[in-house]
Amino acid sequence: MISYVQKVLKFIISIIICQSAGIFGSLFTFDSISDWYVTLEKPAFAPPNWIFGPVWITLYFLMGLSLYIVWKDELKSKTRNAFFVVFGIQLILNALWSFLFFGLRSPFLGLLDIILLDIMVIVTIIYANSISKLAMILLIPYLIWIVFASFLNYVIFLVN
């Protein structure tokens, strides 16, 4: 049986892992927002820049909760292991998007990455659903946001 301390540690580690992806991405985002991103043509439905930070902090927290729910389950299974693999891949793709879009200032490379990210998040949700409905539900806002971000990325690519 897993102890209370182990549960707390797994929770903290899960949140830190996911928030770290956001921190990594922000290394490439902050400078580009003020001197490059502001110069791009954007569609009317593009949210204001200030909204991205709070949204991503919330989404990374929800992702961390989902990861924790799956991790705290002591039952080892191929599905659980597959979840960890696809979760890791989508988290890497998530962090990589900021580097490609903002760091390299390439909406095209960002678009390629986010299409793969969309697919991997769907796969992650499928695996999460077979382990825990709650873990799956916690990932739905993330999927909705990245599908929106994909469309935004696509339009920015087209008009620039």
Question: What pLDDT digit, counting tens, does each position of 3-43 carry?
Answer: 899 999 999 999 999 999 999 999 999 889 989 999 999 99
Q: How many domains does the chain have?
A: 1
Question: Residue 54 domain-assigned?
Answer: no
**pTM, 2 dp:** 0.95
Predicted confidence band of residue 1 (pLDDT cuts 50, 70, 90): low
Question: Residue 45 domain-assigned?
Answer: no
Overall average pLDDT of the 117-132 stretch: 98
CA distances from 33 to 30, 40, 94, 101, 126 (A): 5, 10, 18, 11, 34
Helix (H) / strand (E) containing 35: helix 4-35
Predicted confidence band of residue 76 (pLDDT cuts 50, 70, 90): confident
Structure confidence at residue 144 (pLDDT): 99
Length of the chain: 160
* Domain ranges, residue 119: 4-40+74-159
